[in-house]
Copies of this chain bind each other. A is one copy, B any other.
Amino acid sequence: MPAPNAFYAQSGGVTSVINASACGVIETARQHPDKIGKVYAGRNGIIGALTEDMIDTSVESDATIALLKQTPGGAFGSCRFKLKSVDENLAEYERLIEVFKAHDIGYFFYNGGGDSQDTANKVAQFAAEKGHALTCIGIPKTVDNDLPITDCSPGFGSVAKYVAVSTREIGLDLQAMYATSTKVFVFEVMGRHAGWIAAAGGLAKQRADDPPQLILYPEIPFDEADFLQQVQDCVERIGYCMVVASEGTCDAEGKFIADAGIKDAFGHVQLGGVAPTLVNKITANLGHKCHWAVADYLQRAARHIASATDVDQAYAVGKAAVEFALAGKNGVLPVIVRESVNPYVWSIGEANLSDVANVEEKMPRHFITEDGYGLTDAGRDHLLPLIQGEAYPSYEDGLPIYARLKGQTVPRKLTTEFAI
């Protein structure tokens, strides 16, 4: 009897290192052909399982799979799609099992954030109830760093490095310009509910007055009058002010400040952007010349400046997921354990999917300075290890070489279609 196949899927917003986890899964599976047959990847995540649209990774060369380690994005396609509960949509669970059975899939590796671990957990329970032998292992991922239990989320360290490096670079630019031009710069970064990414901007600071002078966290209610006063004080004291602002900056009522109800000339709602919103407030109230940047996908796709620590951890959780499966574990995921702070030493631990599912880990208050606008030494000590090392991709003709898969589709075995 041939070894059962494995199904791997990417979920949610992608990161610059989620493919490194895929690489860890596939390379490790290939070392155990007696236990794991082929690794099929869902085209566009779990949707690929529901629609029986899977990519056969076995036709990709070892060299291509190795290149995944340095390739951002989601090589097989991801999706923003969450399975409902079994009660709400039994058909989805039955379909998954049907597809898995049809393709001799005995392993399910789900690479995503809290939502995805919730899904993996539900699938594990459902399969067990139905008596289908399916090993379900999660693989953590999220740039937001808001997963519980794990020391950090693979994907976060590289965004943090991008934000820290960019903050330092923008700061130098601003310092050169402020005498006759730009006085305030606002750099908008991701993190809708947790300020981890914004906090990373604080790593750029070496001395008390270095940029960034102000950080806006989702955890701290935005007080417009106080913020404007802080900006003004800073410009008066040191000549300029650099702000790193989380996209999730919101007021005391929890209303996102980017959601300002602005409409264009045609009455269309103007899409927000925390940076331009803040800049409009500063310009209108203080009159300073401002510049702003919104990094958006730039930050989470920036594989060219990925953290080597993050790449290693992303690969390690992919590898460990397969090893957990081979060791007979089920309904768990590998997590990062901080063994020692100085020097930073990490290892792979194990958590239950049910403990990780749907829990959002915010920034601890003691990582944020008392005034709400800075990063404390404790926060700095916690974050700095995560951006260590440069894992540069290889280049050709001035540009990074990123994997391009054949993406060969696994022949269908079912005759029924499934609408999602």
Binding site for B on A (CB under 8 A): 10, 13-14, 16, 44-45, 47, 71-81, 161, 164-166, 168-177, 179-181, 185, 187, 203-204, 260-266, 268, 270-271, 273, 275-276, 279-280, 283-284, 290-298, 300-305, 307, 384, 387-390, 392, 395, 397-400, 402
Please tell me if the beta carbons of A173 and B300 are within 8 angstroms of each other in the complex: yes
Contact of A172 among B10, B172, B280, B402 (CB under 8 A): B402
Please tell me if the beta carbons of B304 and A296 are within 8 angstroms of each other in the complex: no
Please tell me if the beta carbons of A73 and B176 are within 8 angstroms of each other in the complex: yes
Chain B: CB-nearest residue to A170? B297
New contact pairs (12) apart from A80-B177, A262-B262, A293-B293, CB-CB < 8 Å: A44-B180, A77-B176, A79-B181, A164-B398, A165-B400, A168-B399, A169-B304, A271-B279, A271-B283, A273-B276, A293-B297, A388-B398
Q: Which residues of B contact A399 (CB under 8 A)?
A: 164-165, 168, 203-204, 387
Q: Give the CA-CA distance A346 to B36 in the complex, in Å.
A: 55
Please tell me if the beta carbons of A297 and B307 are within 8 angstroms of each other in the complex: no
Contact of A161 among B14, B81, B174, B398 (CB under 8 A): B398
30 inter-chain pairs at a CB distance below 8 angstroms, sorted by A residue, are A14-B173, A14-B176, A72-B172, A73-B172, A73-B175, A74-B173, A75-B176, A78-B177, A79-B179, A79-B181, A80-B180, A81-B180, A166-B298, A169-B297, A169-B298, A169-B400, A172-B301, A187-B298, A262-B263, A266-B284, A270-B270, A271-B279, A273-B273, A275-B294, A291-B296, A292-B296, A293-B293, A293-B296, A294-B294, A390-B392
Please tell me if the beta carbons of A297 and B291 are within 8 angstroms of each other in the complex: yes
Q: Which residues of B contact A187 (CB under 8 A)?
A: 298
Q: Give the CA-CA distance A392 to B164 in the complex, in Å.
A: 16
Q: Which residues of B contact A307 (CB under 8 A)?
A: 398
Q: How far is the CB of A259 from chain B (nearest CB, A)?
A: 12
State whether A270 and B276 are in contact (beta carbons under 8 Å apart), knowing that A298-B295, A398-B388 are contacts in the complex: yes
Q: How far is the CB of A176 from chain B (nearest CB, A)?
A: 3
Q: Give the CA-CA distance A147 to B245 in the complex, in Å.
A: 36
Contact of A169 among B170, B204, B283, B302 (CB under 8 A): B302
Q: Which residues of B contact A303 (CB under 8 A)?
A: 169
Q: Which residues of B contact A174 (CB under 8 A)?
A: 73, 297
Please tell me if the beta carbons of A14 and B276 are within 8 angstroms of each other in the complex: no
Q: How far is the CB of A260 from chain B (nearest CB, A)?
A: 6
Q: Give the CA-CA distance A270 to B283 in the complex, in Å.
A: 10
Please tell me if the beta carbons of A169 and B293 are within 8 angstroms of each other in the complex: no
Chain B: CB-nearest residue to A18? B176
Q: Give the CA-CA distance A275 to B174 in the complex, in Å.
A: 22
Q: How far is the CB of A147 from chain B (nearest CB, A)?
A: 20
